[in-house]
Amino acid sequence: MIAIINYEAGNLTSVQRALTHLGAASVITQDLAEIAQAERVIFPGVGAAGAAMNSLRRLGLDKALKEALASGKPVLGICLGTQIIFESSQEDLATCLGILPGQTVRFPVEHKDAGGQALKVPHMGWNKVRWQKEHPVFAGLPQEAEFYFVHSYHPAPARPADVLGLTEYGLVFASAVARGNLVAVQFHPEKSGRPGLRILQNFIAWDGKEGGHA
């Protein structure tokens, strides 16, 4: 059973639909016991960092997530779920979970591409991820694979070793990070067609070890 953590942030059913399509049983839950019993955990989210952190703390889900990570079970962060894994976010100046060192920062207000044309924020649409090293959750995906993004803030990890994938949008940012049994992505695998489904499928089969086989 996969626990999709419900901290009342955004569209969780799309993640569940994709898992159902792949034949994996999942439950959208804020029940701490259910999360503790789950084989693996998905930490999704759409919305604002401040409100998300408030909900997590009120529901005790911040502790449940840290316990899941400590237990060694595979954990996948998505979008806002990924952003609040870091120490803090410029959005709402929120203090976040601090599971990985680093910050979540906003794209610059005067954001321009190399040719000087203004770039829109949010970064919305399909963009490439350049993998920095091999990982079981990203097995079988080409360098040119594109994923669907929608966000105005992006992770800025402090430890280069945590960066798994990079994406360019006026600047280069970490769009996928990983450490131990945690993998977290800024894009939406559940909305990214076949490459996205491949990531979810790899995650479903993953044993939580970085060198493990998907």
Partner 1 sequence: MLSKRIIPCLDVRDGKLTKGIKFKGNVDIGDPVEMAAFYYEQGADELVFYDITASSDARNIMIDVVRRVAETIFMPFSVGGGLRTVSDMYAVLAAGAEKVSVNSSAVQNPHIISEGARQFGSQCVVLGMDVLKVGASPATPSGYEMVIHGGRKRMGIDALAWAKEAQERGAGEICLNSIDADGTRTGYELALTRMISQAVSIPVIASGGAGVPQHLADVLTMGQADAALIASMTHYGDYTVAQIKQYLHDQGLPVRLYW
122: cis peptide before it, omega within 30°?
yes
Query: Checking phi first, is residue 60 left (phi over 0); if not, alpha (psi -120 to 50) or beta?
Result: left
User: Looking at 33, 116, 194, 211, which residue binds partner 1 (CB under 8 A)?
Assistant: 194
Our finding on whether 133 is near partner 1 (CB under 8 A) is: no
Tell me how far apart the alpha carbons of residues 99 and 34 are, in angstroms, rounded to a whole number. Answer: 21
* Interactions with partner 1, residue window 2-21 (CB under 8 A): 10-11, 13-14, 17-18, 20-21
Q: Which residues are catalytic?
A: 79, 188, 190
Our finding on whether 66 is near partner 1 (CB under 8 A) is: no
Six-digit token string for 42: 């998905």
User: Looking at 146, 166, 205, 212, which residue binds partner 1 (CB under 8 A)?
Assistant: 146
Tell me how far apart the alpha carbons of residues 37 and 133 are, in angstroms, rounded to a whole number. Answer: 31
Our finding on whether 47 is near partner 1 (CB under 8 A) is: yes
Our finding on whether 142 is near partner 1 (CB under 8 A) is: yes
Q: Name which of 21 and 133 has its Cβ closer to partner 1.
A: 21
User: Looking at 36, 139, 150, 166, which residue binds partner 1 (CB under 8 A)?
Assistant: 150
Six-digit token string for 115: 């040719």
Nearest Cα to Cα of residue 184 among 104, 126, 114, 111: 104
Tell me how far apart the alpha carbons of residues 39 and 1 are, in angstroms, rounded to a whole number. Answer: 6
Q: Name which of 117 and 211 has its Cβ closer to partner 1.
A: 117
Contact positions vs partner 1 (CB under 8 A): 10-11, 13-14, 17-18, 20-21, 46-48, 113, 117-128, 142, 144-146, 148-150, 168-169, 190-197
